[in-house]
Structure 1
Amino acid sequence: MSAPAPPWSHLRAVLFDLDGTLIDSAQDLGRAANAMRVARGLAPLPMARYRPHGGSGARGMLAQAFATAPGRPDYDALKQEFLDRYEGLMYDNTRAFAGIEAELAGLAAAGLAWGIVTNKAERFALPLVAALRLGAATVVCGDTTACAKPHPAPLREAARRLGVAPRACLYVGDDERDVIAGRAAGMATAVAAWGYLGAEADIGRWNADAQLRAPGSLLKLLGLA
């Protein structure tokens, strides 16, 4: 009688969120928001105030810096200014989290394809991924498909590009919407617990298939290390 297959033996590809999962971009996001505060005669906020909201991009940064949100009269103009400022400094301090590059190399060595599915716009995500030389087989952004996460369309598009069925993919992210999107796409899901989880996050309630405490633990989960 043959031994039972390992629980992850069906996987052919791993997809990752970007900010807070593969890369630490919170400082540059926060600096863009603080530059806007300083331009208005306001004191900069501590980076620790911005960090938990790094995965929410402009929305998260502007909520902290100016207590505004989509739908408010001032939001659209502030968002445009934020994006323009961020574009000018997004390479300054952003790096892959320690251990990520070795983990990606381990996936490639095991013959697993990997890609990125992010809500970051192509304007920022594509040049940033290229500058960091992450080597993703595909990058699907927040404006690549008609809907962004938590809609499953971006994840399904990434699987299509890789030529892999969604059920043979694992999606790794640091936000509950990543788990929601992954499940809706028919993928297994894992939480990157080192990411921008937010102060109120209870990742045990997200019902992901796995929780990853640090970069490198994915290889152990998959039996590759």
Structure 2
Amino acid sequence: MAMEASMVKAVIFDKDGTLFDFTATWGPWTADLLRDLADDAAHADRLARAVGFDLSTCRFDPASPVIAGTPGDSARALEAALPGMTLDAIVRILIERSRDVVPAPAVPLAPLLSELTDRGLALAVVTNDAEGPALEQLDGHAHHFAFIAGCDSGHGAKPDPDPLLAAARALGHAAEDCIMVGDSLHDIRAAHAAGMRALGVLTGPATELPGAEAVLPDIGHLPRWLDATT
């Protein structure tokens, strides 16, 4: 879906795979979690297969429901392999354990975010992670963002457009003046549904992002891209 180019006044970032390198952040965490949940090595392998994860390499299959999904999506993928636990219990474990993750920024964030705000751009984060852990992971960078929403913030989850539209309202800009930057098809589809431009980055497991206006190696290339296109 082609979007008519317009002046970018606001940038809405995905979190995992965009601000943070997905595999470096979530690979070791997922391996530890699955082994802790499992009864034995065979059970750990079964859990890993359920979420499209390779325990030996700590890497996700590009089709894994964990990549762009909510904690609920991940819990549903694990549910059949954890018959002694309720879905709600699995979700709670995933959210609580996610507070232990050590984020690996895709690029040095402080200088990039400062440059973007110095250009007069309004910034937001819309993630399918829960809001509480997201705020903790963004930590010292949160002040750069006028709006931060997770899947449990009351605006829904991507690929639905509602959280992106809520971000645009909070930033005070029309949807067509915003660009969504993300590493998954959920990000691209949500942007299109919201009437926003969509930009892809390759710091998540996906190697192709059809529908993105452009695909950058990482968000560090964003300022140059903005200079060339707006």
* TM-score of the pair, normalised by structure 2: 0.75
Q: Could you tell me how far apart the structure 2 residues matched to 1:143 and 1:61 are?
A: 15
Structure 1 unmatched ranges of 5 or more? 1-6, 63-67
Structure 1's 12 and 129: CA in aligned 2 closer, same or farther, altered over 3 A? same
Aligned AA (1:16): F
Q: Is the 8 A contact 2:18 2:218 kept in 1?
A: no
SS of 1:211 mapped into structure 2: strand
Answer whether contact 1:17 1:174 (CA < 8 A) is retained: yes
The structure-2 alpha-carbon separation of the partners of 1:72 and 1:160, relative to structure 1 and needing over 3 Å to count, comes to: same
Cα 1:37–1:119 change in 2 (3 A) is closer
Report deviation, 1:9: 5.9
Cα distance change on mapping 1:124 and 1:141 into 2, 3 Å = same
Alignment equivalent of 2:31, drawn from 25, 31, 34? 34
**CA displacement 1:14-45 (0-9 Å, x = unmatched):** 11100010013544534443334433232682
Offset of residue 61 of structure 1 = 6.5
- What residue number does 2:208 align with? 202
TM-score w.r.t. length of structure 1: 0.77
Stretch moving more, 210-219 or 46-55: 46-55
Deviation of the 1:116 alpha carbon: 0.6
- Offset at residue 123 of structure 1 (A): 2.1
| 1:189 counterpart (189, 198, 218) | 198
- Contact (CA 8 Å) 2:22, 2:204: kept in 1 or not? no
Matches of 2:178 and 2:156, distance apart in 1 = 20
- The equivalent of 1:83 in structure 2 is 95
Q: Does 1:170 align with 2:162?
A: no
The RMSD of aligned alpha carbons is 3.0
Is structure 2 residue 106 aligned with structure 1 residue 107?
Answer: no
Tell me how far 1:188 sits from its aligned partner: 0.6
Name the aligned partner's letter for residue 86 of structure 1. Answer: S
1:141 matched to 2:150: yes
Q: Are residue 120 (structure 1) and residue 149 (structure 2) matched? A: no
Equivalent position amino acid for 1:208 in 2: A
Closer/same/farther in 2, CA of residues 105 and 166 from structure 1, 3 Å limit: same
Whole-angstrom distance in 1 between the partners of 2:81 and 2:124: 37
Q: Where do 5+ consecutive residues of structure 2 fail to align?
A: 46-54
Given that residues 29 and 86 in structure 1 are in contact (C-alpha distance below 8 angstroms), is that contact kept between their aligned partners in structure 2?
no
Query: Aligned partners of 1:33, 1:222: CA distance in 2, in Å?
Result: 35
Q: Percent identity?
A: 30
| Alpha-carbon shift at residue 185 of structure 1 (Å) | 0.7
Alignment partner, residue 69 of structure 1: 77
Offset at residue 146 of structure 1 (A): 4.2
Equivalent pairs, count? 206
Higher relative contact order at CA 8 Å, sep ≥6: structure 1 or structure 2? 2
